[in-house]
């Protein structure tokens, strides 16, 4: 009996030792995890801060912020998501609107085939703060561009007509307002917006690299992505234009003409008129 009791006691003591040792080990493990968690959280916060600092803002403008600019902003966000571009934030505003208006039903219908929803969109009027914070501003018509330029000096050098900047229309025609029009008008409107956005997402403002397949005469961009000069003509066109300009200037100024020789007209006789 004593031997059995002694054996049981030994086993009991060993179990008690393990029980007393386990809290200490668990405490050390939890303290290690607690120490590593703040470091991991700090790393996540640091990365998010860097991303927010590197993020640029693209602002689309329209009149009421219920049709064109919401469609452009939502579709462009989709393009950025597909390309996994996280350095650009897309916003929209209206130059003549009030806060809280819903997107039109026709605008929602245009984006449904692409899996894009505008149910949460609410209109917001353009402000000076928006223009100051934006890195690029795209208007649908010259009226939107002018309104932004008049509102704030910060809009200068970064506010453009969407189709003109994207070079999707040689005539740089504005994108008309489809508000109150038929569904066919909305389709034409969104087709122009889509074409411009498809081109814009491949440009240097988004990629940081020159556009693929772009001609040697495409717009040069500044570090902020704004065009620095208009498209230049081809070398042959420049040479022809220069020659035409030179000859025209010579004719106007009387320079560059050869002296009159045998080809010159004979002077009319005095006292008589050559005209009938």
For 103-129, how does the pLDDT look when each residue is reduced to its tens digit (9 = 90+)?
999 999 999 999 999 999 999 999 999
Which residue has tokens 């693929």?
212
The token pair at 29 is: 């493990």
Token pair in block for residue 117: 């929803």
Q: Show the domains of the chain with their CATH numbers.
A: 56-207 (3.40.50.2300)
What is the mean pLDDT of the segment spanning 250-269?
43
Q: Does the structure show a pLDDT above 70 at 249?
A: no
Query: Model-level pTM?
Result: 0.61
Q: For the segment 199-234, what is each residue's pLDDT rounded down to a tens digit?
A: 999 999 999 887 654 433 333 333 334 444 333 343
Q: Cα dist. 251→49, 244, 245, 247, 261 in Å? A: 65, 11, 10, 6, 18
């Amino acid at each position: 009996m004593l031997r059995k009791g002694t054996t049981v006691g030994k086993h009991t003591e060993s179990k008690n030792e393990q029980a007393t040792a386990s809290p200490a080990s668990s405490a050390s493990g939890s303290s290690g995890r607690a120490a590593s968690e703040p470091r991991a959280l700090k790393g996540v916060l640091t990365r998010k801060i860097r991303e927010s600092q590197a993020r640029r803002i693209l602002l689309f403008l329209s009149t009421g912020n219920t049709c064109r600019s919401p469609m452009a902003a939502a579709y462009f966000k989709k393009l950025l998501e597909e390309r996994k571009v996280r350095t650009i934030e897309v916003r929209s505003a209206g130059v003549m609107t009030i806060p809280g208006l819903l997107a039109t039903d026709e605008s929602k219908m245009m984006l449904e085939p692409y899996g894009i929803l505008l149910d949460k969109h609410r209109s917001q009027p353009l402000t000076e703060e928006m223009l100051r914070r934006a890195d690029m501003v795209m208007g649908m018509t010259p009226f939107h561009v002018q309104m932004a330029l008049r509102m704030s000096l910060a809009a200068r050098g970064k506010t453009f007509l969407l189709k003109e900047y994207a070079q999707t229309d040689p005539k740089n025609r504005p994108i008309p307002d489809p508000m109150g029009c038929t569904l066919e008008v909305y389709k034409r409107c969104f087709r122009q917006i889509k074409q411009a956005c498809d081109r814009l997402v491949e440009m240097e403002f988004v990629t940081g690299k020159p556009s693929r397949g772009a001609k040697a005469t495409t717009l040069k961009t500044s570090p902020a992505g704004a065009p620095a000069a208009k498209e230049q003509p081809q070398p042959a066109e420049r040479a022809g234009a220069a020659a035409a300009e030179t000859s025209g200037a010579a004719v106007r100024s009387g320079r560059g003409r050869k002296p009159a020789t045998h080809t010159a007209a004979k002077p009319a006789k005095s006292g008589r008129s050559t005209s009938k």
